Amino acid sequence: MEWAQLDGGSLLQKYSNDDRFWFDQPELVTTPEAVRGLLFNQENQGNFDRIVCLDQGDDPPVLFAWIDRPPWVKNAERFSDAVYAEIFDWQYWLEFKSDDPTYKEITYYGELNFKTDGCLEVLRNRYEETVTTSFIADGTRYTEYRFIKSPVLRLTVLVAGDGSTNIRVTGRPTEATEALEVELKSVLDGEYRITNG
């Protein structure tokens, strides 16, 4: 939490879809389960909130609620995991311009969709797995798994409650991202595929 005090949310603001992050005057939230936390993140249209739990250690869990309604689900085991996941997901999914500090756009990314989460075992055997997070949206629970092929090539794997799975491939340069997407199509082609982006 010391990092949050020093950064003030600017790094998380940069690596997001213009979501709001604040640590200087966060709102105190008490969940129906009597968990107290500080609201530090709200989606840019108010669709979700995240709180960091109070009185649960130096690196406490983060909880997530869709449209500020129960249930609150554990988004990350540790606040540091939530920060890591935020930057991991958006760092190469966004494009910035050095001559225009206000420019931020979603860049090229690969996408694969599957009927089940059977691809996870293959990915775990091929790539380094990092932080896992969870959230809820419109009554459906999701789990996000993250994998690294290289320092600049990443996979974010979103598994819905019914097992349907989406893999997003991000990285630099674009040619490397495209090559990893082709590699995944070849390795994972078969019964799981629904469509590809």
**Residue 1: which pLDDT band, with cuts at 50, 70 and 90?**
very low
What distance in Å separates the CA atoms of residue 42 and residue 20, rounded to the nearest whole number?
5
Q: Per-residue pLDDT averaged across 170-187, rounded?
A: 95
Paired residues of 29 in beta bridges: 37
User: How do the domains of the chain map onto residue ranges?
Assistant: 2-87, 91-192
Please tell me whether residue 142 adopts helix, strand or coil conformation. Answer: strand
- Encode pLDDT of 47-91 as tens digits: 999 999 999 999 999 999 999 789 999 999 999 999 999 999 999
- Encode pLDDT of 3-26 as tens digits: 455 555 678 888 888 899 988 777
Structure-token pair, residue 98: 């050095």
Q: Per-residue pLDDT averaged across 147-161, rounded?
A: 97
Closest CA relative to residue 86, chosen from 191, 146, 16, 186? 16
| Domain 91-192 CATH assignment equals 3.30.310 | yes
Q: What is the mean pLDDT of the chain?
A: 90
Residue 2's pLDDT is: 52
What distance in Å separates the CA atoms of residue 10 and residue 29, rounded to the nearest whole number?
22
What distance in Å separates the CA atoms of residue 189 and residue 135, rounded to the nearest whole number?
28
